[in-house]
């Protein structure tokens, strides 16, 4: 019999719920507003209603729940004062398990993305993996010997917050010169403004890159330089078999990937050269978050 | 009955052999010249003679051999063209096991230092650890969930070769601006020359630091800035419980440690602040290498 899990992605604006089988196929999905001003005690019954509806429609019984949320800690099961939500700190794992009577796992989206790449993406069979999500921010999910690197207290893998430009741009975290301040969509918008002197839509520039547009080459070239440098620092420490890039910024496609690969090879520790694959995620972007959330349930051996 | 292992450290100038028990006590040690111009086939019988003598004198029978060597790869058991030795590539593990009829493990000195800190140093019970060796070069040994991070192909943890100064000093590895080019003894000698305009002995400056000498404060302050930055990048990725610093440069002592701690806390990802201990190794420096070599035998469960 096919097994299903609930994958739940809680974002600052919307929440997504999906019912996903062991092959990573999505049987059903639903999106609803998170309502960031509401408390968790009001959010949870709203979510329950949607889950119940989804299970009634599909007639499936899930074996577990995976939840992706900002600042979620896999080790403690807690969400600590998520930015953009008025929740304070919540024991997400405990509250979900009490309400749904199902084993529940929580983690942040970059760690979840890394697990879904192992299970259903281009990193099948890879034991040492670095996954970098390039969206509003830059997140990193690290797989060591087949397991997510959580570090001593959970929440390891903040590669978006290593300094790549001394005394550089302010970063959303309060630091300066971090990879995220340059290679995220937010950072690239600043680069566009700096180089072109005006606001040009990033997605449009990504399309222009495919036809060899000069400005696009300049902007993405600049971003590839920073990204190649940051990835090289991470890979010089971790020596993974593969680096997988995901998130909206990667819509720019293969030309951008080639630029990143070239900078990465230039900056990586010399004995590691030519040994680490750098790829774009093959998973569907719009469902990446619920796939990620669902993947940790299977990855943690719930059958 | 007490169990002993042979700890062997192969350096470019000297080799050291020690007989070490499970508590990390050294029953016997011997130093002899490596003779870097000799081939491995000439070196090995010379080593055998010294080991045989040592075992005859002590009357002990070791249960295994741990070997530290430049470019040694734990996963393959090989040494790949070690710099400063005319060995080419050698299957060290195989050759040792054939000759000595004892289970043999090989690794590089930074990884070995990390294991000995777990077993006998200040990191007892720590599951996520970063050990940084500050000598001629900068090496990093990383412990994840109690195991040495080897990465996909062995030899992970080259944190000395992440860029901390864009377009900075040439590094011995062929790169530029790397942590090693600033925070190693070699790098600090360049800093001394740059700041003081002349060669001043690093060990002397370390002693001067203890009495608050202005030049020493300047030199070590500069080094602490680079080191704090590099350690913060590594810890932002790995989120270890503890960072242990070892090697000759750390002879400068507690004032230098406080400078490093301050820079580290300034540069680390903000949510990690105040959570990661930074310490100086408490293991005896002169025997660190053979202790490290011996520790992997016990760590790998040979009893």
For residue range A95-107, list pLDDT tens digits in order. Answer: 999 999 999 999 9
Residue B119 falls inside a structural domain:
no
Structure tokens at B295: 């520790």
Average pLDDT over residues A23-50: 95
Report d(CA A294, CA A116) in Å as an integer: 8
Considering only the beta carbons, identify the residue of B174, B175, B237 that sits closest to A162.
B237
For residue B1, the model assigns a pLDDT of: 72
The pLDDT score that the predictor gives to residue A2 is: 87
Same domain as A188, residue A44? no
CB contact under 8 A, B158 and A269: yes
H/E run at residue B189? helix B185-196
d(CA A126, CA A146): 7
Interchain proximity A155–B233, CB inside 8 Å? no
Q: Are residues B245 and B295 in the same domain?
A: no
Q: What is the pLDDT of residue B246?
A: 96
Report the gap between the CA of A165 and the closest CA in chain B (Å). 7
State whether A131 and A222 are in the same domain: yes
CB atoms within 10 A of CB A204: 11
Q: How far is it, in rounded angstroms, from Cα A48 to Cα A27?
A: 18
On whether both A133 and A253 belong to a single domain, the answer is yes
**A106 and A209 fall within a common domain:** no
pLDDT band at B234 (very low <50, low <70, confident <90, very high): very high
Give CA–CA dist A263/A230, Å, rounded: 10
Residue B8 within a domain: yes
**Domain that includes residue A88, residue range:** 4-111+286-299
Q: Going by DSSP bridges, is the β-strand pair B147-148/B138-144 parallel, antiparallel, or unpaired?
A: antiparallel
Does residue A35 surpass a pLDDT of 80?
A: yes
Q: Is residue A119 part of a domain?
A: no
Q: In this structure, are strands A4-10 and A147-148 parallel, antiparallel, or unpaired?
A: unpaired
Distance, in angstroms, between B175 CA and closest chain A CA?
8
Across A211-238, average pLDDT = 97
Query: For residue B170, which phi and psi values (nearest 5 degrees)?
Result: -65, 140
A190 and A262 inside one domain: yes
Chain A interface mutation, best of B236, B263, B273, highest count of A Cβ atoms under 10 Å: B236
Number of helical H runs and strand E runs in chain B: 9, 10
Number of domains in chain A: 2
The predicted model gives A72-83 an average pLDDT of 93
How far apart, in whole angstroms, are the C-alpha atoms of residue A98 and residue A102?
Answer: 8
> Which residues are B170's β-sheet partners?
B176
Residue A118 lies in a domain: no
Torsion of CA A115, A119, A121, A126, to 10 degrees: 80
Contacts of A141 in chain B (CB under 8 A): none
Within 8 A of B152 by CB-CB distance, chain A residues are 126-128, 239-241, 275-276
Q: Residue A152 and residue B241: Cβ atoms within 8 Å?
A: yes
**What local confidence, expressed as pLDDT, does residue A285 receive?**
83
Q: Are B274 and B266 in contact (CB under 8 A)?
A: no
- Residue B135 and residue B86 share a domain: no
Q: Which of B294, B300, B296, B233 lies closest to B60, judged by CA?
A: B294
CB contact under 8 A, B153 and A127: no
Interface of B to A at Cβ within 8 Å reads 126-128, 140, 142, 144-145, 147, 149-153, 155-159, 161-166, 173-175, 229, 232-234, 236-241, 267, 269-272, 275-276
The average confidence (pLDDT) of chain A is: 95
> Which has the minimum average pLDDT: A76-90, B130-144, B174-188?
A76-90
Q: For residues A81 and A166, state if they share a domain.
A: no
- The residues facing A151 across adjacent strands are none
What's the token pair of residue B105? 């493990």
Query: Which residues of A lie closer than 8 Å to B, measured between beta carbons?
Result: 126-128, 140, 142, 144-145, 147, 149-153, 155-159, 161-166, 173-175, 229, 232-234, 236-241, 267, 269-272, 275-276
Question: In this structure, are A15 and A45 located in the same domain?
Answer: yes
The CA distance from B241 to the nearest CA of chain A, in Å, is 5
pLDDT in tens, A154-205: 999 999 999 999 999 999 999 999 999 999 999 999 999 999 999 999 999 9
Task: Identify whether A89 is part of a domain.
Answer: yes
Average pLDDT (B33-41) is 94
Residue B275 has pLDDT above 90, yes or no: yes
Q: Do B240 and A151 count as a contact with CB atoms less than 8 A apart?
A: yes
Q: Could you tell me if residue B174 is inside a domain?
A: yes
**B28 within some domain:** yes
**pLDDT for the residue numbered A195:** 95
Q: What confidence category does residue B82 fall into, taking pLDDT thresholds of 50, 70 and 90?
A: confident
Residue among B147, B161, B267 whose CB faces A236 most closely = B161
Which of these, B76, B226, B227, lies nearest to B153 by C-alpha position?
B76
pLDDT at A241 over 90: yes
Note the pLDDT of residue A167: 96
Give strand pairing partners of A246: A133
Q: Which residues contact residue B173 at a Cβ distance below 8 angstroms, ignoring those fewer than 6 apart?
A: A269, A270, B161, B180
From its phi and psi, is residue B163 left (phi > 0), alpha (psi between -120 and 50) or beta?
Answer: beta
Query: Does B2 score more than 90 pLDDT?
Result: no
Is A1's pLDDT higher than 80? Answer: no
The pLDDT of residue B241 is above 80: yes
Q: Are A204 and B298 in contact (CB under 8 A)?
A: no
Say which CATH number the domain at A149 has: 3.30.420.40
Do A99 and A128 sit in the same domain of this protein? no
Predicted pLDDT at B84 = 80
Predicted structure pTM score: 0.96
Which residue of chain A is at minimal alpha-carbon distance from B140? A237
Same domain, B102 and B133: no
pLDDT value for A225? 98
Give a yes or no: residue B118 inside a domain: no
Buried b (16+ CB within 10 A) or exposed e, B166-192: eebbebbbebebbbbbbbbbbbbbebb
Distance CA A95, CA B76 (A): 47
Instruction: Please tell me which of the candidates B153, B240, B267 has its beta carbon nearest to residue A163.
Output: B267
Measured between alpha carbons, how far is A81 from A94 in angstroms, rounded to an integer?
16
At residue A83 the predicted structure's pLDDT band, cuts being 50, 70 and 90, is confident
Does the pLDDT at position B303 exceed 80? no
The answer to whether residue A243 scores a pLDDT higher than 90 is yes
Q: Are residues B192 and B204 part of one domain?
A: yes
């Amino acid at each position: 019999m096919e097994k299903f899990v609930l994958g739940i992605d809680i974002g600052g604006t919307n929440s997504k719920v999906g019912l996903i089988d062991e092959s990573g196929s999505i049987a059903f999905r639903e999106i609803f507003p998170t309502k960031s001003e509401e408390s968790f005690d009001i959010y949870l019954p709203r979510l329950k209603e949607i889950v119940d509806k989804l299970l009634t429609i599909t007639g499936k019984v899930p074996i577990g729940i995976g939840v992706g949320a900002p600042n979620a800690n896999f080790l403690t099961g807690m969400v600590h004062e998520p930015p953009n939500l008025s929740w304070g700190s919540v024991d997400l794992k405990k509250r979900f398990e009490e309400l749904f009577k199902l084993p529940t796992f929580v983690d942040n989206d970059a760690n979840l993305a890394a697990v879904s790449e192992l299970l259903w993406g281009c990193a099948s069979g890879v034991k040492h993996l670095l996954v970098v999500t390039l969206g509003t921010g830059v997140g990193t999910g690290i797989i060591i010997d087949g397991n997510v690197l959580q570090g001593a207290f959970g929440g390891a893998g903040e590669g978006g917050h290593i300094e790549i430009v001394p005394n550089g741009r302010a970063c959303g975290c309060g630091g300066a010169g971090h990879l995220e301040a340059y290679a995220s969509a937010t950072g690239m918008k600043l680069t566009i403004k700096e180089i072109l002197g005006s606001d040009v839509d990033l997605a449009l520039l990504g399309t222009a890159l495919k036809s060899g547009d000069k400005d696009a080459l300049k902007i993405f070239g600049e971003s590839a330089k920073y990204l190649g440098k940051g990835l090289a620092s991470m890979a010089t420490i971790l020596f993974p078999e593969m680096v997988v890039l995901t998130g909206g910024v990667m819509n720019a496609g293969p030309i951008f990937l080639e630029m990143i690969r070239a900078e990465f090879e230039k900056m990586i520790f010399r004995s590691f050269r030519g040994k680490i694959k750098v790829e774009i995620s093959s998973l569907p972007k719009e469902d990446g978050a619920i796939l990620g959330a669902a993947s940790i349930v299977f990855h943690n051996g719930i059958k």
